Amino acid sequence: MTVNGAPGTLGTRVREGDEVRVDAQRLPARGRDVYIALNKPRGIICTTELDVPGNIVDFIGHRERIFPIGRLDKDSEGLILLTNNGDIVNEILRVEHGHEKEYLVTVEWPVTDTFLAMMARGVRIGGAKTKPCVVTRAGTDSFRIVLTQGLNRQIRRMCSALGFRVQRLARVRIMHICLGSLASGRWRDLAPSEIRPLLAARNARKTSE
């Protein structure tokens, strides 16, 4: 195998526009990297298993083979990223990288200062205490919360432990990427200015390893 005329080895990276030949035969060009922001509606399931009704891949219907970066529960809504570039996934998902994810949450009871303070300090769920986080009031019965960890159904479990039930949960930001005015059920390609920090962070970590 050769890549742009040079011998290829295990781990050789192939980028858009590279010429790849196997036994002197040129392979089809690699498709472009895809990065999508979707405002996921409630009821859509973040799985690539096409036999699951309501799966996110069929919902979007993109021509490229894409997959979600992380997940949102079926009953949750809001921002989720999808890509065909597996290299970027660990950079976004690994807890030790400390990337922020922001949510707008509505609960069944009016939120109190005590509730907000307890959420911010961390709540014991599943035998462990969640990490301290930023929590601010958004309305009488709603609040914003910024997490740097992603335990299964974390916000719902935190609220439940304090006697509150979540009525609506929407993710509005992942790192520097915001949901903005994107309508429910709609998706958009990430802008170059949104993609560059993701690639820069990934490349910086690879250089340091």
User: Is position 73 annotated as part of the catalytic site?
Assistant: yes
What structural domains and CATH numbers belong to the chain? 1-31 (no CATH), 35-94+180-190 (3.30.70.580), 100-174 (3.30.70.1560)
How far apart (Å, rounded) are the C-alpha atoms in residues 140 and 103?
16
Name the burial class of residue 8, with classes exposed (0-12), middle (13-18) and buried (19+) by CB atoms within 10 angstroms of its CB.
middle
- Res 68 pLDDT > 90: yes
Cβ neighbors of 191 (< 8 A, separation 6 or more) are: none
Report the C-alpha gap between 29 and 87 in whole angstroms. 19
Catalytic residue among 18, 33, 73, 141: 73
Inter-residue contact 166 to 105 (CB < 8 Å): yes
State the residue for tokens 């914003």: 144
Mean pLDDT taken over the chain: 87
| Residue 126, Cβ density class (10 Å: 0-12 exposed, 13-18 middle, ≥19 buried) | exposed
> When comparing pLDDT for 123 and 27, which is higher?
123
pLDDT by residue (tens digit) across 146-191? 999 989 999 999 999 999 999 999 999 999 999 999 999 999 999 9
Note the pLDDT tens digit of each residue in 30-48. 568 899 999 999 999 999 9
